[in-house]
Amino acid sequence: MKNLRPLFPDLDIAADVPALVAGPCSAESRELTLEAALSLAAGGVRIFRAGVWKPRTHPGGFEGVGEQALPWLKEVQRTTGMKVVTEVATPDHVRAVVRAGLDGIWIGARTAANPFAVQEIADTLASLPQTARDGLAVMVKNPVSPDLELWIGALQRINGAGIRRLGAIHRGFGYYNPGSGAPYRNAPYWAIPIELMRRFPELPVFFDPSHTGGRRDLVEPLSREALQMGFRGLIVEVHPEPDAALSDAAQQLTPEQFLHIAAPLRRGADSPSEESLTLLREDIDLIDSELLNLLKRRMDVSRRIGELKKRSGLSVVQPSRYARLIDDRTAAAASLGLSPEFIRKVFANIHEESVKTQL
Ligand code: PEP
Ligand code: MN
């Protein structure tokens, strides 16, 4: 990444850790948008988010109100002095946002997964005068698939278009989990954004606990976890009446709830010694619930393998496969700094249980 500059130069967000971006999933009406913005601004939040064009899974879902929301966002900018950012997915969106004079854009997870779409956005940005490009902050969410190179490629395309105020947003990765009871809407796979930070230390990486967790009660523990890992800011969905929101109702917080959560996170950033036993235990509870879900998924797959083996007359235990699995897992454990002996025991137990289910 070349010639990076601060994402919001006149805010000095480097000094403001975590930098907070908050606002509704979608700008649904002028009134709700302003209401959210005024409460957040009063609480000291300086960057406002709101979706204008919403990528929906199924046709017929609420797709955002479109360009008519841009004047509402301008009004937020004017009346609160906040910086205002929104999602773009096409060259038309980029042109409309630049015409409106908003402060920044982000590329959503579905768009970031498509290099053709990202390149079209990059080409549109490249066609702007350098002053317009320097006037715009651009953030790139991770693609839905857990593919670090695809994410980096999208960031490079935007940077290659002459965008210097560049940032990344981690919003979790899609996984196939219908009915699994997995705690998160999208898997955090922390190793991926952390590797991004390691490779591009000057790139600010934000965390989006709303789309990662998918539930409002997960916003606080996930945010805390992320800030301990070195994320530079948070982008959080906040709506004056979350339960009535037209999109992502389950994960949105009221402005009051958000400000309540944000206050100790802000303090926590410069005094990690305030970390309490309770907070760490909550982290352990979340991690254990992830572990349990993974074990359940593994056992389900193992059961299906058992059925296949039965049909094709194969024996349940195949010593060479078992030996390879143990070697592989202990080697991987060693490279993560885990004790190979410990991991050998864990997998011996898991294997024993798998054999039992298959029998
Ligand atoms: C959003 O931020 O409103 C959004 C649609 O997010 P994502 O692209 O992460 O799904
Ligand atoms: Mn959303």
Nearest Cα to Cα of residue 210 among 189, 182, 238, 242: 238
Instruction: Tell me the CATH number for domain 9-267.
Output: 3.20.20.70
Distance 140 CA to ligand 1 centre (A): 11
For residue 211, how far is its CA from the centre of ligand 1 (angstroms)? 7
Query: Is-contact 237 222, C-beta < 8 A?
Result: no
H helical segments located in 229-276:
255-270
Q: Which ligand is nearest to the CA of 53?
A: 1
Among 28, 105, 171, residue to substitute to test ligand 1 (most atoms within 8 Å of Cβ): 171
Residue 220 CB coordination number (10 Å): 22
| Contact residues for 115 (Cβ-Cβ < 8 A; gap 6+) | 150, 153, 154, 157
* Residue 141 neighbours by CB distance under 10 Å: 25
Q: How far from chain centre, in Å, is Cα 97?
A: 23
Boundaries of every domain in the chain: 9-267, 274-358
CA-to-CA separations, 45 to 70, 263, 314, in angstroms, rounded: 20, 11, 62
Mutational test site, ligand 1, from 53, 141, 234, 248, max ligand atoms within 8 Å of CB: 141
Nearest-CA residue for ligand 1 atom 4 is: 108
CATH class of residue range 274-358: mainly alpha
Two tokens at 309?
Answer: 């083996």
Asked if 156 contacts 1 with a C-beta cutoff of 8 angstroms, the reply is yes
Pocket (CB within 6 angstroms of ligand 1): 25, 51, 55, 87, 108-109, 141, 171, 211
Q: What length is written for the chain? A: 359
Residue of 25, 49, 56 best suited for mutating to test ligand 1, as the one with most atoms within 8 Å of CB: 25
Domains 9-267 and 274-358 alike in fold: no
- Ligand nearest to the backbone CA of 141: 1
pLDDT value for 271: 47
Q: What is the pLDDT of residue 140?
A: 99
**So what's the pLDDT on residue 178?**
65
Would you write out the chain's pLDDT as a tens digit for each of its 359 residues?
A: 999 999 999 887 766 679 999 999 999 999 999 999 999 999 999 999 999 999 988 888 899 999 999 999 999 999 999 999 999 999 999 999 999 999 999 999 999 999 999 999 999 999 999 999 999 999 999 999 999 999 999 999 999 999 999 999 999 999 876 666 678 999 999 999 999 999 999 999 999 999 999 999 999 999 999 998 889 999 999 999 999 999 999 999 999 999 999 998 886 654 444 455 666 676 787 788 888 989 999 999 999 999 998 899 988 888 898 999 999 999 999 988 999 999 999 999 999 999 998 88
For residues 260 and 255, give the distance between their C-alpha atoms in angstroms, rounded to a whole number. 9
CA-nearest of 294, 63, 60 to 180 is 294
Ligand 1: centre distance to CA 98 (Å): 20
State the distance from the centre of ligand 1 to the C-alpha of 193, rounded, in angstroms: 17
Q: How far apart are CA 336 and CA 243, in angstroms?
A: 42
Q: Whose Cα sits closest to atom 9 in ligand 1?
A: 109
For residue 326, how far is its CA from the centre of ligand 2 (angstroms)?
Answer: 41
